[in-house]
Structure 1
Amino acid sequence: MAVPLSGAGHPSVDPGIGASTVDELIASESEFLQRFKYCYGCDAETFERDIVDPIRRYASYVNLLPATADNFFCSAGGLFRLGLEVAFFALQGTDAHIVSGRATITVRKELEPRWRQATFLAGLCSELHRTLSHATVTDEQGNEWPAYLVPLTVWLERREARRFFVRWIANAPDSRGLGLFALPHIVSPEAMQHLAEANHVVVPQMLASMTGIPLLHEQSILIELVKRSAALVIDRDLAASAHRYGRPILGAHIERYLLDAMRHLVAAHPAWSPNTERSRVWLGAEGLFIVWPNAAAEIRKVLEDDELRGIPKAPETIVEILTAAGVLVAPPEGQACWSILPPGNSSALEAIRLASPDILLTGQTRPVDALAQPLVARAVTAPSRVAGATNAAAQSAPIVPAPTAPRARAASPRAAATEPRSAPDAAAGGPEPHEPQPDAQGALDLDPPPAPPIEAVAPSRQFALKAPLRLVPQVRQALQAAIATMNNDARSAIAVTVASGVFVPVSHFKAHSIDVSVALRALADVDMLVGTKDRRPRTYQHDIGGQEQAGVIVRPAHIEGLDPTDFQTPT
């Protein structure tokens, strides 16, 4: 019920949130509590002590606070519901795992109840830090809730406040460690002591899960269960929120899983050892760089092994999420990635740059010294000279109409099948000046060209999709649109021919509002892709317009206008 703000001279437009009592909150989730009882499987006294009491304390602390401003669980009571759902699914997951598997039966009998309770508590408090880092809560008179000192419900009762107001902090960092300062309000000292009895691992694992600081050299079932449950619950809420139009805010929760995967790779993967030969990770005076998109495959592999929901597949999406979260530094204007030249490399590599090296390197056992030499490659200022060479080659080359050559090149609208090179290089380095390359012909067009050469570069055939009837209609339409661009200007084509077929970027499916995994699975089911094994599609990297993009290769037999015998058969 709305309450007039009689004490305020200038009432706020924000109506606020009506305060609730703990009993009301518990009653609203009575069915959920019954599910906890069936899952935990114990007597009434133990259930009250281990499950109900922490839930009541959690309800008292968060009251009806939303979890986020406009993303997942953003309605009143969202944070309470989020904690309950993550706790339930994490607790349910313990039934399928044996913790402390190397211990004796007697030890496991003592530890298993503690592991299950700790997993429940870690899930319940997994987003507790948001009360301290993401929002400020005030009452009707503008007094601020001292979140470190007292639960919200207790404070509102002391102030006799019937409503509270939430002011969200813009660009708040994801400081998960702050949740430890609120933990004593949820977990009593007696419960913490019970978890620590006869062992030295349960409490550290629980706290590591809450703070988001993984134990890099020790596998933890508890941490994995909570992480997987949180991803599942948040992904389900985002999908079910009918009032949210468009895509959710990037970086709201996914960046934590990406960073965990990267930290795991730095600690365990040989190719991620910083500043070593052929490493993915380079630390220099300018900062920490990760070779991209080469590193994306390892990150995806770790996330797929963790079976996390809602995790992006495309390298471009990963970069977008991390940039929006403030983890990455944007490259110079006009560039998709940073260009670095590590020691021992003769050519520059594309890389992403982290905002701080400590994001990945904090807690590593081996200290990493920054390289003395600069890593960032100098920008190449030679395009004008290349263009000049192209024009010179074009002026010196006699115009020889060759009607068959352009038709042969029509099957490769943008690049040769085996050697994709940029057009200026091809024109400048062509060994036979009497046969102008596509861009050389474009340079000739600056002068009034004869009519025959212009007619010669026009495609002599039309390309179209030949897909099985059972292909998903939305995927068929998107693929048709990509293949149709091969009939227009080669420089604007989305699909390009490569050695074994036609390369289509996965970003094209995203642009048509199709989930990339759905599109790849649909194409693999009808056997249209190169490299498919056991109905698992394989993605490739290819340079398009000077940018390395991830995509799939469609078999040439499914493209009308192409001769499959002109392409390599993949092994």
Structure 2
Amino acid sequence: MLAKLLNTILRITEPDEEVPRYPPFAKGLPAIPAIKILESQDELIKKIKHYLGVTDQEYQGRVYPLIFNYARFVHLLPASEKHHHRGAGGLFRHGLEVGFEAVYKSHGVLYGMDENPGRRKQLTPRWRLAIFIAGMLHDLGKPVTDVEIKSEDGAHTCNIVGDDIETWARKRKIQRYYLSWRVNRNGDHEIVSPTLINKVITPEVQEYLNEYGPAIYKEMLLTIAGTSHNSKMYSLVMDADYLSVEKDLKNNCIPIDPSIGAPIEWFILDAMRQQIKKGAWTDNAKGAVVWRLKEGTFILWNEAAEDISRLITKSNIPGIPKHPDTLADILIDRQLAVPYRLNPQTVRRYWNIKPGSMDRPLRVLKLADPMNVYTDALPLIVDGHVIHIETETDGQSDAVAQDGEAAVTPTNHDSANSTDADRANPESEPDIPSGGVVEIETSIKAQPATPPSAPTNHSQPSAASPAPNAEDNSKANNPAETQAARQWLASQHAAGALLMQSLDPISAEYFQIQPNGRVLMLHQNIAAALDQKPINIITTIDAAGMIEVDPRKPMVKVTELGGVKGVLLNKETSRYLTVLIQNAETPPVPPTPPQIIATHPGTNRPTPSHGQPQGAHTAQRNANHEIEQLIQTIKAFELPLAVDQTDDSLIVDMVLLRGYIEEQQLFEMKQLLRYAFDRPDISIDNTNKKFIVKK
């Protein structure tokens, strides 16, 4: 009474909102209609429809009922208690992400190769739909095995095997429901998931998938159960699951008690993604906010921070600082940005870079991982370098060196003593030696794709290809080791013969020794020199187990190091090849690797003078041959991409086609465009991004 009287006298009013208390209590999840859950993921669902390659009628008849039923079943349940996708709606989002990623990757996989083209055309969309379903439903058992769902008073428990959450809540007039996590639940959902598919998959879809036999449906069920370890579908779904989990843990670090508030860096990253996605931030050009050099990805921070603050203010998000330095410090503290370290005593938040296309240096913030803000492809790497400033300018630790101020001219060199972690992450920050100021390549330095015009002595490793260890120079010209290496290659049958054939005519120019001793094989250059397809080179080497692949992405065979794409050979293969490369005799005339001459359609190509290497023209002829094979593959419906058709044309999505060509290393896109320009039966719709082939 006394407190109320004092409040009345002093005109102190109690706030309408509830005062938070610790420990916090759960507020439950709203029993909203499933249609609202679908609407919250509308953008991702549109992408799924696109990459499934279905018509509007097929989407409404087959795909939409699947997604709607899945939303009804999992509702707003999180995917895990304390790990990935742990917020409301996390399980629904995770299922869609895995389904989407699996379908996207499936465009590089061929199914039904033992079938005739007509039947393969019918099977391909069924495989794609089954892959999507397997990805979306891989955690379908979690609502049964992982959580217990109750009403607020605990009087009612949802038996989700019977009624779904929405129906259960409506029957009992429940507004919010509450979760408790079961103990010892790890892995149980995989056993249960296949038994629940009738909750999601409609009879029409089951009939559609089984129309040409049970193989597709059976593999889908085994993948959902997690038992089809050797199948293509299982591999696609597991890779997609890994990508979804990794992306969520990086980008959406939601606290376990979100009622306290989301972390500030979450809103900063979200604003950055918005600016990039809508094209407000351009890259690698005059006036651009984003620059990607070989040292990493950088943001012109003063301009970026202004945009970030404006977006956050517009979204009415309280408690977010506005000063650029404060925002930068938050990202650095969360290890989302990397500070510049001149030496152990000098650490600055900003970097100074000089892009090749700019006349002045830029003060920028370096991102730890650009995939935190890029949801699609990263910008290309452009010419430029980091400027290392030995002394502070004007007393400011983050000042950019202006004209007339002392700045150290950067010097490029390789670091043979860099750690394995640095080699694995091309954008990792280098250690700067305290004895001097030098610029260190943070990406793995690769040999140039074209050899020097003057003869090179291959008895000594070049600066661009450091030897695996300090003893290699003493091993040069060792006949015993050379003989042992040749004998080992001879024992590797087709792959060994291919490597020996590659070494002989071109010496060591297309084999780049990395700082960790591995050898990067420039398979595309070798294929052009040997008049073979790049995919055949990869297949032969991979069949012998010579490729070192990322165990998380076993289907990816091509690696990019220092802006150069090639096949990274394993330790044993690299060791023997290194012996042959370093012991190779100097060739009388160093060959010139094939160059693809980009000429405008309709112009005459230059005629080589007497004695000029013919590699460029061989590569051009090979490209035309590869393109013609691609056209025939499209016409035979053998392309591992969705092919639509009208009465007189076959249509392929240009985005998917570009990704396939680049992944398979077939040829350059500009060669395809030039080839299409000269062909009346081929056209490109740039507005709708379609590649059209007349029947």
Common fold, TM-score beyond 0.5?
Answer: no
Q: Structure 1-normalised TM-score?
A: 0.43
TM-score by length of 2: 0.36
